[in-house]
Every structure is written in C-alpha cells, then in structure tokens.
Chains A and B, each alone.
Chain A
Amino acid sequence: MNLYSLLKPERINLDLTSRKKQDVLLELVSSFREDEDSGLLVSTLLKREDLGSTGIGKGVAIPHGRSLVVDKLELVVGRSTKGISFDAIDKKPVHLFFLIVAPPQDPGNQYLITLGRVAVVCQELLKRKQYEKPQTPEEFIQLVKEIEGNL
C-alpha cells in the first residue's frame, strides 16, 4: 500500500495552533468531523493515550482508534513547528502527527497496515527534518510520494 494515496490536502494541517494534547487531538479530528462526534472521537483517542502515549519519540505521534463515526479510514497529518507537549516516550515535544481513525469493520486490516506504514514513512520524514520543508499540503503529499518511491 502507498500512504500518499490516502493523503488528502484538506486533511493536512501544516500549522497546528494547539499547545496541549486534548486540543491538538480535537484540532486534528476537526479536519473531518466538526459535529458532536468529534468530542466522542477525542474521548476515545484520549482513552488510548491513557494506555501509553502514541508519541513514539523523535517528535512523532500516531494517535489512532476505531469508530463507527467514520465509514472509511481517515488519515490526518498535523505539523507544529514549535512542537506540542504530548507526553511522548522520550518526553520531547511532538512536531509531526499522523492521526488514524478506522471503522471497526476493516477488511484486510487496513488500520494496522496503515499504522505500520506511517511508522516507516515517519522515520524517513525525520531524516534531516524533511518534514519541515513542505510549504503546502500538496508539497507534503509529494514528499511522502518520493519517500515511498525510494523505500
């Protein structure tokens, strides 16, 4: 699978304004749900965070969950130049977020495959802080496409 094919410009926020965990989750979720379902989703994502932060270190977090609120996998990217406190495992601020929300019925287990792919692509995005370069969502998608082409 290719991650870039799941990315949509309207789901990429290269200038996150939130400063706290709950707020950034809401900011990410709001890119595809702005009704009361967004609060429900954030609550679910926070319960997952309680098990252990999805901030996997080096400035990356991959919050994730399943919900009937979505009828297909939603992938949202967020970037913060200043960094956001997210209780990451290395205690460092998070600069790059990949939020994944998948429906519970998930033939082919796309949810887990996408999670794994995001982790791999993030390793490349972190090299020389490549994730800082794109100025537009389209440029970000192009960067991910190039990275995946070299994997």
Chain B
Amino acid sequence: MSDELKILLELQHLDYMIKDWRNASTRKEFRKIGFQLETDNPVEMLLEKRKKLAERINKPLFQMYERILSRYKDWAVVPVIDGFCGGCFSKVPTELSGQRKVLNNCPNCGRFIYWD
C-alpha cells in the first residue's frame, strides 16, 4: 500500500468519525454510554487533524479526494472485492490488478481503489 493511499484511507476514517460527531443523536448516545471528551468541540478538533493529514499529500490528490467525496456522499476510497469495485460494484479491469502499488481509480465511478 502506497503512503498516499494510506493517508487517503486515514482521511476517510477521519471523515466517518466527523460524520458521527456531527450527528446530535450519536453524540447524545456517546454521552449516555459514559464517554467524556477533552474538548468542547470534537468536530473542530477532528477537522484540524484532517487539515494536517491533508497537508501530507499533494494538493491535486486531496482535491480529487474531495471531489469524489462530494459527488458520492459516502466514500472516496474503496477496496476491490473479488475483482469488483467496492463502491459501484462494477468489474475492475484485470490489468489494473497488476498495478497494485500504484494509486488507481475505478474506471467506472472514479473512486480510489485498492486491493484488500
């Protein structure tokens, strides 16, 4: 897995977390369970981490991540499962599987893909 892909996946994991903490009912449930925070604004703290993480990849790549994310509203980086894109479920050309160390995009949906 390339460093760029690792960072994109970390970004995506952070985005899941931000989504959860933006949700008022989820936050309420977390409090009910007994989780205490060291910050009054967890989303702001996570966004700061996101910014720092984004600085570790080149700008065009980050912009592409943002574009894909805003287009699909779910995830921008997906695994290839049994030869199919984990985002749009279309067949990924076999020639791409030979380039596993290179960052690829699904030819159908454009999401970043990686082999699990």
Binding site for B on A (CB under 8 A): 36, 40, 43-44, 47-48, 50-54, 56-57, 62, 65-68, 89, 104-105, 112, 115-116, 119
Q: Mark B60-93, 1 if CB is under 8 A from A, else 0.
A: 0000000000000011011100000010000000
Looking at chain B's contact residues, the main secondary structure is helix
When chains A and B are docked, how far (Å) is the Cα of A67 from the Cα of B6?
13
Binding site for A on B (CB under 8 A): 1, 6, 9-10, 12-14, 16-17, 20-21, 26, 29-30, 32-39, 42, 45-46, 49, 74-75, 77-79, 86
A44-B33 contact in complex given A50-B45, A66-B17, A66-B20, C-beta closer than 8 Å: no
B105 to chain A, nearest CB (A): 16
Contact of B39 among A52, A104, A112, A119 (CB under 8 A): A52
Residue of A36, A43, A51 with most partner-chain B CB within 10 A:
A51
A7 to chain B, nearest CB (A): 19
